[in-house]
């Protein structure tokens, strides 16, 4: 019984990470109908920059973990702006779907290669800011860092939701999401809103990066599969549903920890990807998404 | 002209035949073989990316499956290469089908992600299933042997080159046939392809399976070229490399993949040589400088387009001097090449060269399809499908179409008599177009049924309904823009082909007969709608009014019993409208029943036998044009207020 509880707990912590990354996919998809195929690399860069500030990789540590977080968030936002400016804006202008898919992929592999050249190809441990002794909750051993992941993820999504609902800038984001052309005609600078959504998207990925890094290892290739599985979560939850990504993330996280335990850790990435194929085959709009009607 | 072509082909054959002796270096021969192998894969990738317009990130995975299929068959079962390689075609095509059946229900970024997931799963499974694949250690096989004769690199070269040439020929035949037109049509306008009886889903799956088969072929040949395969070869980077090669070489060409493959295979050699790389950086810097000078001299005062080239060239020059070796930055350079191609070289190198040449000769010269002049008399004539004599040809019963809370159609009945022109009018938003979409199967009605020619069709797919003899045009034009007028009509005639893939690849008499017949028929249809002068013009270049006529022509290609015209006169000038009325009359004389949605009252009232009026999703009036025109309800719907009092 307690082994199952254990798997559930770790699954939830892992799932919240996916939810945060998937949340980033949603934010850009809502405003511009585009996705960053290099989302996993944004996460990796966040973790790497965090490690450089907080660890001794590049002559550090410069500050502690908690002061590092705002710096990483800032870096993530800037990285998102760069992606939007180089890869997405020209493609939106020329209405080329192929264009933004290819150029965000291109930027993704560039970021990964640059990271390999700066930080090397090996995985590195990330110093944990919290004690590493597990605490007992409901028969299961939970790392304090895992609790921090759940709290941090929820907090971040809550803040963004509040921003969207309460502030006038948030209204601009919501308006752009529901109808970009109409919002533009009402005097909203939709280009700026899209840039903002990319900043937010990469920022949440970078945040996810520094949250997950102390639990796993940090390395240039850490992002690729995470980004892909988070997309699976975004699809399972529906690209338009905020609650969906949390449910989808936890679902996938648990599926993964149980597969890893009962089958083999080598196969742990498989259920998420198979789930992605199945959901798209059966209900492409996701479990919580709305179906749209095509107009002829 | 033909002599030149034969001489050219002969020269290529001779060149390919003497190439290994001429190079006389095992390593370079190996590289040339690799180029040919990649080119075969890229022919396949081009079918998916270039023709159907979808992004596939699964091709490294499929390539890996092909490589491992051949490798395992040879290593475990001792199959010789001439059996193992063909088997890997079928194994990989089967895997491609397995992916395509669920995945191709979605498009665009979704499909890209799904194919990426497939590629990742393939890599993981190859890595993990070590009882079959020997896991991360990889498989080492012996040199291929032909009846006891060991094939060295320069011998294997000939095997690959022959396969490459055959693959090129077959792919070319497929893409030039009705199958290739179907692939191109579903990219141009999916909904129109469906309504022409070309099922978008089915042909996409078909295209993907062919593409996977070619990836398998390439994978099988790769195994016997490398003699060692390991899982991490078939990773995401390889997929991206394939896409780069394809878009850089040029989509929708045969030469593009060859050129692209050569670039991605040879580029790492260039990067290994830092001196050569620096030299290239200088050339690019000079090129950009010339571009800037030209820009300034030509008097343009916008400096924005100069920023990116100048910054890019400066960064390249700086990194060329700063870095001592480039090998580690290979992927970064590939990434920048993708960005460059996506923004500055969208048609690829071959496409760019074609555009330059295209300045000096009309674009359609190469595409002109030979047409037999004999077709004048035999127009599409009568409908293909036996029409039942009695009763209504089409009967919609109690149609309810609900979108959320909105009832776009509310219990509408519609009966269309065989051989009549049935007008359907109503103010904007009254549900006319929804009715059209329900009849043609684009929407499935919430309630009610549609009976066409004696059988219930509501619930069928648009392509199935089209094949039963119902054709339509679109209010906002849905032509296949990059195809010529003739090719557009040929897509409508897709249903006349019985030939399968084998017929096309072998160019059998049956296929040639059907192709000739279809072209003759297409030409006569174009003559009928008055477009014979525009036969080989791309549809997007036609004037607006002609595009509307071409839509009618394409619909006539289906040889329908019922033709639905959705606002055919919208945006036409009055002489064009006169021609249109004449054409609609003639269509009826050929025994085709017509449903006409139109806002031009003179058109509807002039030629309709019966007119139905919709308003807010309900039928408010029906009858002879004159009776409907004086119906107070109709006047109220159009003019509002108290017209009836």
pLDDT in tens, B576-604: 899 899 999 988 888 889 999 988 888 88
Specify the pairing of strand A135-137 against strand A124-125: unpaired
Report CB contact under 8 Å: A98, B55: yes
**pLDDT for res B322:** 79
Model ipTM value: 0.89
Report yes or no: B145 and B136 within 8 Å, Cβ to Cβ.
Answer: no
Report yes or no: B451 and B457 within 8 Å, Cβ to Cβ.
Answer: yes
Mean pLDDT of the B364-378 span? 51
pLDDT tens figures, A220-256 = 888 888 888 898 888 888 777 777 888 888 888 888 8
> What is the percent of chain B with per-residue pLDDT over 90, rounded to a whole number?
39
**pLDDT for res B407:** 86
Two tokens at B299? 């008097």
Question: Which chain A residues are closer than 8 Å to B475 by Cβ?
Answer: 296
Mean pLDDT of the A139-149 span? 83
| Residue whose tokens read 């059998």 | B508
Q: Which of A47-56, B29-38, B90-99, B146-155 has the lowest mean pLDDT?
A: B146-155
pLDDT tens figures, B46-95 = 999 999 989 999 999 999 999 999 999 999 888 888 999 999 999 999 99
Distance from the Cα of B105 to chain A's closest Cα (Å) equals 7
pLDDT tens figures, B18-45 = 888 888 788 889 999 999 999 999 999 9
Q: What's the mean per-residue pLDDT of chain A?
A: 85
pTM of the model: 0.89
| Residue whose tokens read 């450089």 | A52
CA atoms within 13 A on the CB side of B411: 1
Q: At what angle do helices B274-297 and B304-322 cross, to 10 degrees?
A: 160
> What is the percent of chain B with per-residue pLDDT over 70, rounded to a whole number?
94
pLDDT tens figures, B420-458 = 999 999 888 888 889 999 999 999 999 999 999 888 888
pLDDT tens figures, B523-555 = 888 888 888 888 888 899 899 889 999 999 999
Mean pLDDT of the A264-285 span? 78
Rounded Cα–Cα distance for residues A24 and A77 (Å): 11
**pLDDT for res B367:** 52
E strands, chain A, are 124-125, 135-137, 140-142, 217-218
Report CB contact under 8 Å: B53, A98: yes
Question: Which chain A residues are closer than 8 Å to B260 by Cβ?
Answer: none
Distance from the Cα of B117 to chain A's closest Cα (Å) equals 6
Rounded Cα–Cα distance for residues B252 and B144 (Å): 34
Two tokens at B174? 């497929």
Q: For residue B108, is pLDDT > 60?
A: yes
**pLDDT for res B645:** 45
Q: For residue B511, is pLDDT > 50?
A: yes
Helical spans, DSSP H, in B507-624: 509-528, 544-557, 574-589, 601-607
DSSP string, A207-272: HHHHHHTTTSEE-TTSHHHHHHHHHHHHHHH-TT-HHHHHHHHHHHHHHHHHHHHHT-GGGTTHHH
Enclosing H/E stretch for B125: helix B108-128
Q: For residue B644, is pLDDT > 80?
A: no
Question: Which chain A residues are closer than 8 Å to B113 by Cβ?
Answer: 35, 37, 228, 231, 235, 276
Rounded Cα–Cα distance for residues B578 and B518 (Å): 29
Mean pLDDT of the A22-28 span? 89
Helical spans, DSSP H, in B144-253: 153-176, 178-188, 190-195, 200-226, 236-249
Enclosing H/E stretch for B613: strand B610-615
Report yes or no: B216 and B522 within 8 Å, Cβ to Cβ.
Answer: no
Other Cβ atoms closer than 10 A to B487: 25
Rounded Cα–Cα distance for residues B566 and B451 (Å): 20
Q: For residue B374, is pLDDT > 70?
A: no
Two tokens at A67? 């002061």
Mean pLDDT of the A121-147 span? 82
Rounded Cα–Cα distance for residues A181 and B249 (Å): 36
Rounded Cα–Cα distance for residues A92 and A95 (Å): 5
- Best CA proximity match to B261, nearest among B93, B34, B63: B34
Question: Which chain B residues are closer than 8 Å to A296 by Cβ?
Answer: 191, 433, 436-437, 442, 474-475, 478
**pLDDT for res A176:** 85
Rounded Cα–Cα distance for residues A103 and A96 (Å): 11
- Best CA proximity match to A17, nearest among A193, A162, A182, A222: A222
Interface test with A, best of B114, B405, B439 (most A CBs within 10 A): B114
Enclosing H/E stretch for B621: strand B618-623
Other Cβ atoms closer than 10 A to B305: 10
Report yes or no: A20 and A89 within 8 Å, Cβ to Cβ.
Answer: no
What domains sit in chain B, N to C, each tagged with a CATH number?
26-272 (1.10.3470.10), 274-365 (no CATH), 392-644 (3.40.50.300)
Specify the pairing of strand B610-615 against strand B421-425: parallel
Q: What's the mean per-residue pLDDT of chain B?
A: 87
Domain spans, chain A:
3-282
Question: Which chain A residues are closer than 8 Å to B106 by Cβ?
Answer: 280, 284
Size of interface A-B (CB pairs under 8 A): 128
- Best CA proximity match to B250, nearest among B263, B239, B234: B263
Rounded Cα–Cα distance for residues B287 and B310 (Å): 10
Q: What angle do CA A46, B57, A29 make, to 5 degrees?
A: 55
**pLDDT for res B642:** 59
Rounded Cα–Cα distance for residues B266 and B196 (Å): 44
Mean pLDDT of the B330-353 span? 89
DSSP string, B124-145: HHHHH-HHHH-GGG-EE-PPPE
Q: For residue B643, is pLDDT > 50?
A: no
Residue of chain A whose alpha carbon sits nearest to that of B346:
A99
**pLDDT for res B295:** 80
- Best CA proximity match to B467, nearest among B382, B560, B342: B560
**pLDDT for res B222:** 95
pLDDT tens figures, A99-133 = 999 999 999 999 999 999 988 888 888 888 887 78
**pLDDT for res B641:** 64
Q: What angle do CA B289, B291, B296 make, to 5 degrees?
A: 95
Who contacts B302 (Cβ-Cβ below 8 Å, separation ≥6)?
none
Rounded Cα–Cα distance for residues B503 and B592 (Å): 32
Two tokens at B209? 């399976």
B216 or B292, greater pLDDT = B216
- Best CA proximity match to B207, nearest among B166, B171, B241, B238: B171
Which CATH architecture best describes the domain A3-282?
A: Orthogonal Bundle (1.10)
Residue of chain B whose alpha carbon sits nearest to that of A94:
B343
Specify the pairing of strand B421-425 against strand B447-452: unpaired
Residue among A35, A90, A278 whose CB faces B109 most closely: A35
Q: For residue B181, is pLDDT > 60?
A: yes
Rounded Cα–Cα distance for residues B392 and B413 (Å): 12
| Residue whose tokens read 């992916």 | B99
Peptide bond into A61 cis (omega under 30): yes
**pLDDT for res B386:** 59
pLDDT tens figures, A225-234 = 888 889 888 8
Mean pLDDT of the B366-386 span? 52
Report CB contact under 8 Å: B110, A90: no
Q: For residue B104, is pLDDT > 90?
A: no
Q: For residue B378, is pLDDT > 60?
A: no
Distance from the Cα of A82 to chain B's closest Cα (Å) equals 14
Q: How many residues does chain B have?
A: 645
Report yes or no: A234 and A245 within 8 Å, Cβ to Cβ.
Answer: yes
Specify the pairing of strand B447-452 against strand B455-456: antiparallel
B43 or B520, greater pLDDT = B43
């Amino acid at each position: 019984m307690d082994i199952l509880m254990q798997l559930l707990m770790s699954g939830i912590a892992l799932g919240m990470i996916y939810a945060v990354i998937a949340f980033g996919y949603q934010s850009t998809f809502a405003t511009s109908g585009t996705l960053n195929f290099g989302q996993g690399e944004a996460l990796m860069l966040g973790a790497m920059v965090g490690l450089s500030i907080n660890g001794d990789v590049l002559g550090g540590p410069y500050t502690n973990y908690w002061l590092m977080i705002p710096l990483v968030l800032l870096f993530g936002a800037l990285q998102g702006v760069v992606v939007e400016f180089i890869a997405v804006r020209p493609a939106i202008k020329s209405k080329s779907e192929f264009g933004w898919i290819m150029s965000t992929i291109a930027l993704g592999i560039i970021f990964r290669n640059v990271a390999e050249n700066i930080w090397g190809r090996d995985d590195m441990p990330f110093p944990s800011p919290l004690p590493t002794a597990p605490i007992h909750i409901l028969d299961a051993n939970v790392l304090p860092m895992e609790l921090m992941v759940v709290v941090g993820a929820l907090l971040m999504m809550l803040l963004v939701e509040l921003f969207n609902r309460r502030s006038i800038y948030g209204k601009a984001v919501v308006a752009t999401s529901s109808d970009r052309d109409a919002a533009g005609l009402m005097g909203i600078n939709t280009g700026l809103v899209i840039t903002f959504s990319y900043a937010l998207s990469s920022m949440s990925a970078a945040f996810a990066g520094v949250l997950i890094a102390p639990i796993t290892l940090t390395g240039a290739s850490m992002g690729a599969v995470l980004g892909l599985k988070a997309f699976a979560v975004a699809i399972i939850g529906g690209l338009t549903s905020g609650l969906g990504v949390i449910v989808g993330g936890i679902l996938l996280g648990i599926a993964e920890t149980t597969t890893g335990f009962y089958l083999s850790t080598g196969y742990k990435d498989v259920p998420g990807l198979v789930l992605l194929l199945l959901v798209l085959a059966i209900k492409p709009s996701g479990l919580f998404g709305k179906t749209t009607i095509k107009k002829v | 002209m033909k002599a030149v072509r034969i001489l050219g082909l002969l020269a290529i054959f001779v060149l390919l035949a003497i190439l290994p002796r001429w190079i006389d270096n095992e390593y370079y021969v190996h590289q040339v073989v690799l180029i040919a192998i990649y080119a075969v894969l890229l022919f396949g990738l081009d079918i998916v990316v270039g023709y159907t317009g979808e992004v596939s990130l699964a091709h490294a995975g499929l390539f890996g499956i092909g490589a491992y299929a051949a490798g395992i068959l040879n290593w475990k079962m001792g199959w010789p290469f001439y059996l193992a390689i063909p088997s890997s075609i079928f194994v990989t095509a089967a895997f491609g089908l397995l992916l395509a059946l669920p995945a191709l229900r979605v498009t665009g970024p979704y499909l890209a992600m799904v194919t990426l997931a497939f590629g990742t799963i393939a890599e993981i499974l190859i890595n993990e299933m070590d009882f079959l694949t020997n896991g991360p250690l990889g498989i080492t096989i012996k040199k291929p042997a032909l009846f006891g004769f060991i094939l060295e690199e320069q011998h294997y070269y000939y095997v690959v080159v022959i396969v490459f040439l055959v693959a090129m020929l077959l792919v070319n035949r497929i893409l030039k046939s009705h199958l290739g037109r179907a692939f191109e049509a579903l990219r141009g306008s999916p909904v129109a392809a469906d309504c022409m009886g070309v099922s978008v889903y089915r042909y996409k799956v078909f295209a993907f399976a062919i593409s996977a088969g070619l990836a398998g072929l390439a994978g099988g040949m790769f195994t016997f070229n490398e003699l060692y395969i390991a899982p991490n070869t078939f990773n995401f980077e390889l997929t991206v490399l394939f896409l780069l090669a394809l878009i850089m070489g040029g989509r929708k060409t045969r030469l593009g993949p060859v050129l692209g493959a050569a670039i991605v295979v040879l580029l790492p050699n260039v990067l290994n040589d830092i001196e050569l790389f620096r030299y290239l950086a200088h050339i690019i810097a000079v090129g950009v400088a010339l571009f800037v000078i030209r820009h300034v001299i030509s008097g343009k005062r916008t400096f924005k387009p100069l920023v990116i080239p100048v910054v890019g060239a400066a960064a390249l020059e700086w990194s060329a001097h700063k870095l001592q070796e480039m090998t580690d930055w290979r992927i970064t350079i590939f990434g920048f090449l993708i960005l460059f191609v996506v923004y500055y070289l969208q048609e690829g190198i071959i496409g760019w060269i074609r555009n330059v040449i295209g300045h000096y000769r009309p674009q359609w010269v190469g595409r002109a399809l030979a047409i037999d002049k004999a077709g004048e008399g035999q127009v599409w004539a009568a409908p293909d499908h036996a029409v039942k004599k009695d009763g209504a040809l089409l009967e919609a019963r109690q149609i309810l179409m609900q979108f959320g809370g909105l009832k776009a159609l509310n219990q509408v009945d519609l009966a269309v008599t065989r051989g009549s022109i049935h007008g359907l009018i109503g103010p904007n938003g009254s549900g006319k177009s929804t009715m059209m979409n329900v009849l043609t199967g684009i929407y499935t009605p919430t309630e009610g049924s549609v009976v066409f020619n004696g059988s219930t069709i509501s619930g069928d797919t648009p392509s199935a309904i089209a094949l039963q003899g119902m054709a339509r045009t679109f209010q906002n034009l849905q032509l296949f823009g990059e195809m010529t007028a003739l090719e557009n009509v040929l897509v409508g005639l897709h249903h006349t082909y019985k030939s399968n893939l084998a017929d096309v690849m072998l160019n059998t008499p049956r296929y040639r007969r059907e192709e000739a017949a279809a072209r003759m028929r297409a030409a006569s249809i174009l003559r009928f709608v008055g477009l014979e002068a525009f036969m080989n013009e791309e549809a997007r270049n036609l004037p607006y009014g002609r595009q509307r006529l071409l839509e009618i022509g394409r619909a006539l290609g289906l040889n329908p019993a019922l033709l639905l015209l959705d606002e055919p006169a919208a945006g036409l000038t009055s002489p064009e409208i006169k021609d249109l009325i004449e054409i609609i009359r003639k269509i009826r004389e050929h025994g085709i029943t017509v449903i006409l949605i139109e806002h031009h009252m003179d058109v509807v009232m002039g030629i309709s036998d019966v007119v139905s009026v919709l308003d807010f999703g309900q039928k408010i009036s029906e009858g002879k044009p004159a009776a409907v025109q004086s119906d107070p309800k109709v006047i109220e719907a159009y003019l509002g207020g108290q017209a009836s009092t």
